[in-house]
């Protein structure tokens, strides 16, 4: 492991740039003495109890650099579990970097995630909670924050630990039956253990199911705008972003590449992608754009297939069969059909049935009305997108596995557990069943970090910010 736990470390914990305050963290056995060497009130700092704030100046020899407040933490009551000082100074990046330079003469710069790594090593957090710290910092929307906070509070860890304990209990019952087979022990109640293992398997299955939704909160729900050139994809993109980022022109074929932006719909992180229009073309650049569009459509969580009255006059609105499940069909430019307000669903449907487009709409396809020029012209589309995400209402106590590493571990555990159940069914030897259970336990234990490897830790903590 590249982290050396005995050094005293420091880093600026607040973002670069001008701000009201800047916080510099120092952690390690020498943290308090390191700061005292450059502080105007060294004795006061050295004697300060935990959670005490000491006011003074950071000085380079006689030269005063900044007026600060040093907040002292005493081991083990700190974020890292070590002695720590948080120096709050003025938020001038030049001052912060001068203070940092001074501190670096007697301690070293922290690596990304090193403070949290120490918290993990000192049992202040388990691995799932440490990862939640990073998720919480990077969460893009309110719902993602709730999920990360729930994980940080240890809800996931508690549930995983309980499942590990139950699995371990079952495993021990099998092992005891092997070890003491020749003794007069009551026989193992296979039905009962089997039932317990099935319950655990069901719970793990449920967690995997919810995992897809958890992934949405972390990685966003990708929504791809597709359709013929000029139907208004870029205009819809802009309406959603409420800014003019994409180029909108009446000339077909202007969006040759794709654009993507994040937005929050009802607290869900959405990755909205504006693509090149799909049409037959001889233009090489446009062709590349169209290939890219097809690739994006394949990967997207939801595809919005836009048409407009002009396009519908000439073609049918028919989603690609391969993606029909994840496609929403939208008729844009509803204003051109004489609507000056987005119609209600019933009004819209009766309009469509009696309109010239009736024959152009494939059976079982619903066309959602939309207009980028009407007030609330994208309201119905917005509702439909959110309803497609279909996540349960999140409470801070909801356990939603959001992390790919955790999901992979659950999947491995579940597969070993299913093997164990299969072994019970075919009356395999108890040693085989116990072996599968050991595998199931060790996979789950990786989530909380009860079992780790250096590579795994390196990978996890290197994605953190410096200072965290």
Ligand X SMILES: Nc1nc2c(ncn2[C@@H]2O[C@H](COP(=O)(O)OP(=O)(O)O)[C@@H](O)[C@H]2O)c(=O)[nH]1
For binding to Mg ion (CB under 5 A), which residues are involved?
233-234, 255
Write 394-398 long-range contacts (CB < 8 A, 24+): 394/143, 394/146, 394/147, 394/150, 395/146, 395/150, 396/146, 396/149, 396/150, 396/153, 397/150, 397/155, 398/146, 398/147, 398/150, 398/155
* Among residues 56, 229, 269, 467, the one that binds ligand X under rule CB under 6 A: 229
User: Binding to ligand X by residue 336, rule CB under 6 A?
Assistant: yes
Q: Is 413 helix (H, G, I), strand (E, B) or coil?
A: helix
What is the smallest separation between the CB atom of 283 and Mg ion, expressed in angstroms? Answer: 15
The DSSP string of 122-164 is: TTSS-HHHHHHHHHHHH--SHHHHHHHHHHHTTHHHHHHHHHH
H helix count then E strand count, the chain:
16, 12
Task: For strands 327-331 and 367-369, give the pairing.
Answer: parallel
User: Binding to ligand X by residue 285, rule CB under 6 A?
Assistant: no
User: Binding to ligand X by residue 462, rule CB under 6 A?
Assistant: no
Nearest Cα to 10, choosing from 92, 83, 111? 111
Q: Which stretch binds ligand X (CB under 6 A): 71-79, 229-237, 408-416, 454-462?
A: 229-237
Residue nearest to ligand X (CB): 232
Rounded (10°) CA dihedral 126, 131, 136, 142: -100
Nearest Cα to 218, choosing from 148, 114, 128? 148
What is the smallest separation between the CB atom of 335 and ligand X, expressed in angstroms? Answer: 5
What is the smallest separation between the CB atom of 235 and ligand X, expressed in angstroms? Answer: 3
* 453 burial via Cβ count (<10 Å: 0-12, 13-18, 19+): exposed
* Among residues 150, 255, 307, 445, the one that binds ligand X under rule CB under 6 A: 255
Size of the site for ligand X (CB under 6 A): 19
* Among residues 161, 234, 293, 416, the one that binds ligand X under rule CB under 6 A: 234
Q: Is 87 helix (H, G, I), strand (E, B) or coil?
A: strand
User: Binding to ligand X by residue 311, rule CB under 6 A?
Assistant: no
Q: Which helix (H) or strand (E) holds 434?
A: helix 430-448
- Measured from the CB atom, the residue of 214 and 232 that comes closer to ligand X is 232
Task: For strands 221-227 and 19-27, give the pairing.
Answer: unpaired
What is the smallest separation between the CB atom of 239 and ligand X, expressed in angstroms? Answer: 8
Residue 260-279 contact track with ligand X, rule CB under 6 A, x = bound: -----------------x--
User: Binding to ligand X by residue 256, rule CB under 6 A?
Assistant: no
Q: Compute the distance between CA of residue 338 and CA of residue 323 in angstroms, rounded to an integer.
A: 31
User: Binding to ligand X by residue 249, rule CB under 6 A?
Assistant: yes
User: Binding to ligand X by residue 248, rule CB under 6 A?
Assistant: yes
What is the smallest separation between the CB atom of 249 and ligand X, expressed in angstroms? Answer: 5
- Measured from the CB atom, the residue of 68 and 381 that comes closer to Mg ion is 381
Considering only residues 367 to 396 of the shown chain, the ones binding ligand X according to CB under 6 A are 371-373
User: Binding to ligand X by residue 307, rule CB under 6 A?
Assistant: no
User: Binding to ligand X by residue 226, rule CB under 6 A?
Assistant: no
Contacts of residue 93, Cβ cutoff 8 Å, sequence gap at least 6 = 16, 17, 18, 22
Q: Which does 403 bind (CB under 5 to 8 A by kind): Mg ion, ligand X, none?
A: none
What is the smallest separation between the CB atom of 6 and ligand X, expressed in angstroms? Answer: 59
Q: Which does 275 bind (CB under 5 to 8 A by kind): ligand X, Mg ion, none?
A: none
Interacting residues toward ligand X by CB under 6 A: 229-235, 248-250, 255, 277, 332-333, 335-336, 371-373
């Amino acid at each position: 492991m590249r982290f050396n736990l005995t050094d005293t470390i420091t880093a600026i914990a607040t973002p670069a740039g001008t701000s009201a305050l800047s916080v510099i963290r120092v952690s390690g056995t020498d943290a308090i003495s390191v700061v005292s060497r450059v502080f105007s009130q060294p004795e006061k700092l050295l004697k300060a109890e935990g959670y005490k704030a000491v006011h003074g100046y950071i000085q380079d020899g006689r030269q005063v650099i900044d007026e600060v407040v040093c907040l002292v933490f005493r081991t083990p009551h700190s974020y890292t579990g070590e002695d720590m000082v948080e120096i709050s100074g003025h938020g001038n990046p030049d001052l912060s970097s001068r203070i940092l330079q001074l501190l670096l003469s007697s301690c070293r710069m922290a690596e990304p995630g090193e403070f949290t790594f120490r918290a993990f090593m000192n049992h202040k957090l388990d691995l799932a909670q440490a990862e939640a710290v990073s998720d919480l910092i990077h969460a893009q929307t309110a719902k993602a924050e709730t999920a990360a906070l729930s994980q940080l509070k240890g809800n996931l860890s508690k549930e995983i630990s309980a499942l590990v304990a139950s699995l371990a209990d079952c495993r021990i019952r099998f092992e005891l039956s092997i070890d003491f087979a020749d003794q007069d022990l009551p026989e193992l109640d296979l039905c009962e253990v089997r039932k317990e293992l099935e319950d655990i398997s069901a719970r793990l299955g449920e967690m995997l199911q919810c995992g897809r939704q958890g992934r949405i909160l972390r990685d966003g729900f990708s929504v791809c705008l597709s359709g013929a050139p000029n139907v208004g994809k870029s205009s819809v993109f802009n309406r959603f972003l409420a800014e003019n980022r994409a180029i909108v022109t009446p000339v077909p074929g202007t969006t040759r590449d794709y654009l993507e932006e994040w937005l929050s719909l009802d607290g869900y992180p959405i990755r909205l992608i504006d693509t090149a229009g799909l049409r037959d073309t001889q233009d090489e650049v446009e062709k590349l754009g169209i290939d890219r569009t097809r690739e994006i459509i394949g990967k997207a969580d939801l595809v919005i297939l836009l048409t407009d009255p002009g396009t519908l006059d000439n073609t049918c609105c028919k989603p690609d069969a391969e993606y029909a499940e994840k496609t929403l069909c939208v008729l844009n430019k509803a204003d051109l059909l004489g609507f000056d307000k987005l119609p209600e669903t019933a009004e819209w449907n009766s309009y469509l049935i009696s309109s010239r487009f009736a024959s152009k709409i494939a059976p079982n396809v619903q066309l959602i009305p939309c207009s980028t020029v009407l007030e609330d012209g994208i309201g119905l589309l917005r509702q439909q997108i959110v309803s497609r995400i279909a996540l349960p209402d999140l409470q801070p106590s909801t356990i939603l596995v959001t992390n790919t590493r955790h999901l992979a571990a659950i999947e491995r555990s579940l597969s070993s557990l299913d093997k164990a159940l299969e072994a019970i069914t075919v009356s395999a030897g108890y040693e085989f069943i116990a072996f599968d259970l050991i595998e199931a336990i060790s996979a789950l234990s990786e989530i909380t970090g009860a079992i780790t490897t250096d590579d795994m830790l390196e990978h996890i903590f290197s994605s953190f910010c410096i200072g965290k």
